[in-house]
């Protein structure tokens, strides 16, 4: 039957903007239409969720959030999300229309690709995944069906950000499960955990398939395929194509190691390795030609529940854990085959609990059929007592399972430690131990704190601060230097007082001086105006006046000779008397007298 006739949406206008031209494909999640954007006059791919999925408001809200988040991804190799909304009960998503086919179509047409072609397809896929990983997105459904090959040779990856919101729909059919299980990393199958490395694993499987034309593991049921992913290493592509170079084997095996920690950490790391391998092959980049006849999506009846093929026995130390994982996987996939895995009575979409008070979040979770476990952590943005996050983030969970709530304790605060008197290194260690950050260091004069030791902090010690707050340190530069005053001409007592006023000490000595009066400072060892530390001793010399010298006896000598003799001894001479005979009758000083003093002569 012609889909254009059978589908009632064909010919209608959605949201007064998108005219549905034809149905392109239908999957477990939604139906995809070729539509015309009447406002911008361009073709878009319009994905409309199945009606039975739109009955759950939480799922619809989550679908909208994921679509908006995916719309923020911007890369040439990512199929752009253009618009999203709800119209007449239909939840829809408008995406970039890619004219061409998929890598799956190309592999059906050609069987396999040569190494250069395979890498020329893989590189843009890794660029797209790298952009998503940088934005903290995990695709989780990387497979040839989601690698789109445009008619002009461009390669794009689709369905970013939507897998988390609609994984339930994509696994309702056995054909969808078979396709997805073939690319699922072991940790997804064993533990249900997924990070960037699950995309790396899937990209490695896609490369293996592009090089060999076959998936690394085959089986009649999803269980058989999943068991091999969990228990067996992905073989080297050269095991099927011996002519392939070892570098390609290493690239595939480094991407698909069963231990996630041994893989490339993300798509960017794998991209760097893939580029190096591509460069080693030489030659120009090949143009990836879209398949001539893209294969339409066809429904496939559910697979029979056949028993798995006999696997290799795992190592004895891991038998119990492997058996438990396999048992869980058997139950999961058996339910899928029976069409009951996502039954409305057994599973529910977890409610959004972010920012709710703990009591209210607990009440809402229990009303949806979930248990609650609460853990607390500090948060600078979410109010104390409100939910920061809830896990798991899966769109559907078994009723009765536990939602793990992370509740805010408010900002983490710590007291600034007392570090005054400590060295800078010890102060920084104490601040770090208090979950604070050592900030800028400045100096200050201090008469009490030794040089190089902490004087104070900003904020001050004992004050509560948020974790990570910078605490500035004020470090002692020692006492403030003072200037030596001028002491020359002061008495010894006055000089002592002048130095004490600026916290300096004095050391005095005495000496004779012909010019400085007795008792006055005649010299200072440290020049006036010199900067010195408080407590410094300044040496000063205090005058004792002139030295004592022996006064020559000149009585009876002629006046001129007497004057000459006294002046030669360093005295000044004055005379008086009759001076008839011209001889000295009397002299005023005898014995010793200060040099330079005056001796008066009486003449006759």
Residue by residue, DSSP assigns 86-103 as EETTEEEEEEE---EEEH
Name the helix (H) or strand (E) containing 455: strand 454-458
Helix axes 246-255, 267-281, angle to 10 degrees: 170
CA 202 to CA 185: how far, in whole Å? 7
Query: What tokens appear for 181 in the block?
Result: 């299980």
Q: Which residues pair with 26 in a beta bridge?
A: 31
CA 27 to CA 48: how far, in whole Å? 10
Query: What tokens appear for 275 in the block?
Result: 């580029």
Query: What tokens appear for 534 in the block?
Result: 């408080």
Residue 586 dihedral angles phi and psi, to the nearest 5°: -155, 145
Provide CB contacts within 8 A for 60, sequence distance 6+: 49, 53, 54, 86, 91
Q: CA geometry: angle at 572 spanning 567 and 578, to 5°?
A: 95
CA 389 to CA 398: how far, in whole Å? 19
Query: What tokens appear for 551 in the block?
Result: 């006064």
Provide CB contacts within 8 A for 498, sequence distance 6+: 485, 487, 490
Q: Closest Cα to residue 506, out of 515, 514, 497?
A: 497
Give Cα separations from 480 to 145, 453, 501 (angstroms): 78, 15, 14
Q: Which residues pair with 25 in a beta bridge?
A: 32
**Helices and strands, number each (H, E), in the chain:** 16, 29
Active-site positions read 141
Residue owning tokens 């890619």: 98
């Amino acid at each position: 039957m012609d889909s254009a006739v059978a589908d009632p949406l064909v010919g209608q206008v959605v949201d007064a903007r998108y005219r549905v031209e034809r149905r392109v494909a239908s999957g477990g999640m939604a139906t995809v239409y070729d539509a015309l954007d009447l406002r911008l006059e361009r073709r878009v791919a319009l994905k409309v969720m199945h009606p039975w999925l739109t009955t759950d408001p939480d799922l619809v809200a989550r679908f909208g959030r994921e679509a908006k988040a995916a719309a923020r991804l911007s890369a040439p190799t990512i199929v752009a999300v253009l618009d999203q909304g709800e119209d007449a009960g239909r939840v829809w998503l408008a995406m970039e229309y890619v004219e061409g086919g998929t890598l799956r179509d190309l592999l059906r047409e050609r069987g396999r690709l040569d190494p250069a072609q395979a890498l020329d397809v893989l590189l843009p896929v890794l660029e797209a995944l790298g952009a998503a990983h940088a934005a903290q997105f995990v695709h989780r459904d990387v497979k040839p069906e989601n690698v789109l090959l445009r008619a002009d040779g461009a390669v794009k990856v689709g369905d970013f950000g939507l897998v988390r919101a609609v994984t339930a729909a994509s696994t309702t059919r056995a054909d969808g499960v078979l396709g997805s299980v073939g690319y699922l990393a072991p940790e997804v199958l064993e533990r249900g955990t997924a990070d960037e490395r699950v995309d790396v694993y899937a990209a490695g499987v896609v490369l293996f398939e592009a090089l060999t034309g076959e998936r690394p593991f085959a089986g009649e049921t999803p269980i058989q395929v999943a068991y091999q992913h969990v228990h067996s290493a992905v073989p080297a592509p050269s095991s099927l194509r011996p002519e392939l170079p070892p570098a390609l084997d290493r690239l595939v095996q480094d991407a698909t190691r069963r231990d996630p920690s041994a893989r490339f950490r993300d798509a960017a790391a794998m991209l760097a390795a893939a580029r190096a391998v591509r460069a080693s092959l030489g030659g120009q980049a090949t143009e990836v030609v879209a398949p001539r006849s893209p294969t339409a999506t066809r429904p496939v009846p559910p697979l029979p529940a056949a028993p798995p093929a006999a696997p290799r026995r795992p190592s004895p130390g891991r038998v119990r854990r492997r058996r438990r994982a396999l048992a869980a996987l058997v139950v999961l996939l058996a339910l899928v085959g029976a069409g009951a895995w996502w039954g409305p009575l057994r599973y529910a979409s977890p409610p959004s609990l972010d920012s709710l008070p703990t009591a209210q979040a607990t009440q809402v979770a229990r009303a949806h059929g979930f248990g609650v476990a609460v853990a607390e952590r500090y948060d600078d943005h979410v109010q104390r007592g409100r939910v920061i996050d809830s896990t798991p983030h899966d769109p559907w969970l078994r009723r009765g399972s536990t939602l793990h709530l992370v509740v805010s304790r408010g900002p983490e605060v710590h007291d600034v430690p007392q570090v005054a008197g400590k060295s800078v290194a010890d102060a920084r260690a104490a601040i770090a131990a208090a979950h604070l950050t050592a900030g800028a260091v400045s100096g200050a004069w201090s008469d009490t704190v030794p040089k190089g030791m902490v004087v104070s902090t900003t904020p001050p010690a004992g004050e509560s601060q948020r974790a990570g707050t910078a605490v500035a340190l004020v470090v002692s530069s020692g006492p403030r230097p003072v200037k030596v005053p001028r002491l020359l001409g002061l008495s010894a007592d006055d000089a002592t007082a002048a130095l004490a006023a600026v916290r300096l000490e004095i050391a005095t000595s005495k000496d004779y001086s012909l010019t400085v009066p007795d008792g006055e400072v005649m010299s200072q060892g440290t020049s006036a105006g010199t900067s010195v530390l408080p407590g410094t001793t300044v040496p000063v010399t205090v005058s004792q006046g002139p030295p004592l010298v022996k006064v020559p006896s000149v009585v009876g000598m002629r006046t001129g000779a007497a004057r000459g003799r006294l002046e030669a001894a360093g005295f000044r001479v004055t005379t008086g008397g009759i001076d008839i005979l011209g001889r000295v009758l009397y002299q005023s000083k005898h014995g010793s007298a200060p040099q330079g003093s005056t001796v008066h002569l009486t003449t006759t």
